Amino acid sequence: MEAAGPPGRPRAPGGALTAIRADIACGCENGAIAPAAVTSTQLASRLSQRRRTDPGRRWIWVVMSVLATIGAIDTGAITLKRWGILGPLICPGGAGDCDKVLNSAWGSLFGQPLSLFGFLAYAGVLVLSLLPLVLQGDARRDLLSRSRWALFLLTAGMAVFSLVLMAVMLFKIKAICAFCILSALLSLSLLVLTLLAGDWEDKGQLIFRGLITSLLVGLTGIAWASAMDRPNVATGPGMPIPVTSTTRPGVMPLAEHLTAKGAVMYSAYWCPHCHEQKELFGKEASAKLKIVECAPDGRNNQADLCRAKNIQGFPSWEINGKLDSGVKPLQKLAELSGYKGSVPSP
């Protein structure tokens, strides 16, 4: 005997099972008719939103936050060291290679340490990965839908640019910097975690945007790296870039005073800040300074002396038996050495 349908509702063909299926499909409960049917597109969207907000995925955002924090500390410490705020950093594998990489022509961008821009990128990833952990409800869902693309494009750009920097480090500078390798690994890991956390519905858009971003960042990075590669055939391997500025009046006596006092400038031929220091003196006065080449592959180097002096950064000045690293204004050198003559302003 066929079961009767709900009161006030015609019996569904095929019996109770068909009626139940109809109730489920229209969202009915106890025979009540839903205001509107839910389309398959809406169901897919709701399921996708539910998957993206699944508490089981929170660990991805937590891991991303931790990795971004490590990256920010890494690049932030390098930046502060380059600004002279922090002292020498302990670099696994030796400070010489790290200094060679970080102080190279590729270590700066727009007059600032390249690590500063890395710090800003990691800070952006940190903010975008923390917000889903803090916000709740509709605000969280809206943020996830808007920020996942920003996070993907940012981490993709970071990963590609890190690969460019790794190529420069290995094939142009020919040195190993543990801080730089750490940053590259963090960037690649953040990209992978972003892909896992995104629950991407449109794989075509993901691939298309990823390729466009990779091409733009990669080509821009290669062009920048090529522009920074300034080999000077006239100097030969292991020789510093020639000083081109003319010595100003009042600078030559300071240079002669520093040499007479036994002041020593510890330098490396590949160090742009050492070149900057010599440019402050000018071509003629810098020739009067006592400059020690510390790079092991530099021409006429005294690397053993530099190691014995525990030279950690370039340039480093030894004045009156005290070491002081970083580019020094001429007025500061006059003060440290007790020079009483007049020194031209910068």
Domains of the chain listed by start with CATH number: 54-228 (1.20.1440.130), 251-337 (3.40.30.10)
d(CA 36, CA 163): 52
The reported pLDDT for the residue numbered 31 is 46
Diameter of the chain by CA atoms? 117
Residue 3, pLDDT > 50, answer no
**Contact call for residues 12 and 5 (beta carbons, < 8 A):** yes
255 pLDDT exceeds 50? Answer: yes
Helical ranges in the chain per DSSP H:
16-26, 40-52, 58-82, 95-102, 114-134, 137-168, 178-198, 203-228, 251-260, 272-281, 283-286, 303-308, 330-337
pTM of the model: 0.65
Tell me the mean pLDDT in the region 265-283: 90
Q: What is the pLDDT of residues 316-329, one digit of tens each?
A: 999 999 999 888 99
Across 80-99, average pLDDT: 77
pLDDT at 144: 72
Cβ burial, residue 211 (10 Å; 0-12/13-18/19+): exposed
pLDDT tens column, 282-313: 999 999 999 999 988 888 999 999 989 988 77
Q: What is the pLDDT of residue 98?
A: 83
Q: What is the mean pLDDT of residues 127-147?
A: 77
pLDDT at 94: 66
